[in-house]
Amino acid sequence: MTTPRLRHRRGRLVAAVSGLAVTALTVALAVPAAAAGSTLQAAAGESGRYFGTAIAANRLSDSTYSTIANREFNMVTAENEMKMDATEPNQNQFSYGNADRIVNWARSNGKQVRGHALAWHSQQPGWMQNMSGTSLRNAMLNHVTQVATYYRGKIHTWDVVNEAFADGSSGGRRDSNLQRTGNDWIEAAFRAARAADPGAKLCYNDYNTDNWSHAKTQGVYNMVRDFKSRGVPIDCVGFQAHFNSGNPVPSNYDVTLRNFAALGVDVQITELDIEGSGSSQAQQYQGVVQACLSVARCTGITVWGVRDSDSWRASGTPLLFDGSGNKKAAYTSVLNQLNAGGTTTPTQNPTSPNPTPSPTTSTPPPTGGGSCTATYSEGQKWNDRFNGTVTIRANSNISGWQSTVTVRSPQKIIATWNGSPTWDSSGNVMTMRPSGSGALSAGQTTSFGFTVQHGGNWTWPSVTCSAS
Ligand code: 9MR
């Protein structure tokens, strides 16, 4: 990627960061200046995030490898050992030897584990590859249930389903034996995983979903939105993030992460590697970290291996340590960016026309419901989006509240803070509930905020409140 392009991207990121000014301010005030973290896990931990790596069981006996892995990372993904072919080599005979070596190493060193992956069209055991129909569906669900039950309580996040969307312009599902069991196979897998390990976060994980304008990204986004609206138990979306010159870090990466997060899921960067070297590679890594840090619900980053020589793309030298275990420029830029933070100190204001709402649009009056009142107030405006705040006022003592925010097409709410949102199927009506207790005494107020991507429509959202 060229330097001018990166400059442009940094500008966009700063603009996006400023879009979360309220959150940013809160973070800046709440967190005293911390000592710089000297490892990736310490630096990521300053903002409550994790920093992970893929681990291969057969490399743990290499002390250079395990020393770096132990020092730098606090989240571990088994690179191959928890896949379907590894854990169920014969139908209904489960094999956890290598997976356990990784889980035990992680846990005995105080690390958490991302489980990868319960259901996938690839790396299926031979017996499964030629199955179809109900018997395949049942075998897949049995696999999800057995493996998630075996590891119950030990897994931070499961990649429940991996890579189920097609590349290219269709935005649809990838054809596979699992897909041919019926379009509901993904949600069935999520429900089985939730039942087996209610404490694990459940992720959908895919690649080439980093660029917001790609059809595949939109396809996954629509699925997650649908799942959230129908109560399918999904908690997070994993972005694999395998980059190279043919598939560079997109300039709108932060937009993608933020838009998914606005659906009410966490986002995680799950398999990061960037082919290249020197300062170009370092800058791209920095951009990815910055994008994650700019999104409150981007909860962690995992790189796909320790040293370049451990990578599935070793010849592309895509990782943070060279083959001898030395820190690369990319390592330093990631560490520095983690220490600098991403949501606290925007260095410049975004250029914006700062328009006022068009005179033909009406400002809805505050509306009350039950014994609370919701009032909308304008926040900062940019040429493509604006911030709004809703203040909830209790008219009498209330034990809880919920508030709806309705935006008009083509408007879209792309970020929220201080609340827990759900969405109707159109995506135009957000119901916001308090993140913690919603109890307020008479006269007390609380507020939440959001960013609207307005698409040229400056109409204020209408808001309601109902109390319980
Ligand atoms: O890094 C993994 C490599 O060792 C395996 O041979 C390969 C087999 O499919 O899987 C690699 O990991 C993949 C991950 O499980 C899913 N996303 C893409 C990763 C790179 O291919």
Looking at residue 455, what is its pLDDT? 87
Residue 461 corresponds to which tokens in the numbers above?
């959202």
The upper half-sphere exposure of residue 86, i.e. CA atoms within 13 Å in the direction of its Cβ, equals: 19
Q: Whose CA is nearest to atom 21 of ligand 1?
A: 312
* CA of residue 122 to ligand 1 center, whole Å: 9
The amino acid present at 321, given as its one-letter code, is F
User: How far is Cα of residue 160 from the mean position of the Cα atoms in its chain?
Assistant: 14
Pocket probe mutation, ligand 1, options 55, 58, 79, 209, max atoms within 8 Å of Cβ: 79
Q: Whose CA is closest to 203, among 309, 101, 77? A: 77
CA of 61 to the centre of ligand 1 (A): 21
The residue annotated as part of the active site, out of 72, 88, 187, 271, is 271
* CA-56 nearest atom, ligand 1: 4
Residue identifier of the C-alpha nearest atom 20 of ligand 1: 312
Report CA(83)–ligand 1 centroid distance (Å): 10
Q: Which residues contact 221 (CB under 8 A, 6 or more apart)?
A: 259, 260, 263
Cα radius of gyration (the chain): 23
Tell me, yes or no, if 271 is annotated catalytic: yes
| pLDDT tens-digit series, residues 324-355 | 999 999 999 999 999 998 653 222 232 333 33
Residues with CB under 6 A from ligand 1: 79-80, 122-123, 162, 207, 240, 271, 312
Could you read off the pLDDT of 105-154 as tens digits, one per residue?
Answer: 999 999 999 999 999 999 999 999 999 999 999 999 999 999 999 999 99
Nearest protein CA to atom 6 of ligand 1, as residue: 312
Cβ 168 vs Cβ 210: under 8 Å: no
- Our mutation pick for probing the ligand 1 site, out of 83, 269, 304, 308, counting the most ligand atoms within 8 A of Cβ, is 304
pLDDT per residue as tens digits for the range 424-435: 888 889 999 998
Q: Atom 19 of ligand 1 has which residue's CA nearest to it? A: 271
Instruction: Supply the DSSP symbol for 79.
Output: S
Distance 304 CA to ligand 1 centre (A): 9
pLDDT band at 393 (very low <50, low <70, confident <90, very high): confident
Residue 120 and residue 80 in contact, taking contact as beta carbons nearer than 8 Å: no
Q: What is the pLDDT of residues 65-94, one digit of tens each?
A: 999 999 999 999 999 999 999 999 999 999
* Number of other residues whose CB lies within 10 A of the CB of residue 207: 19
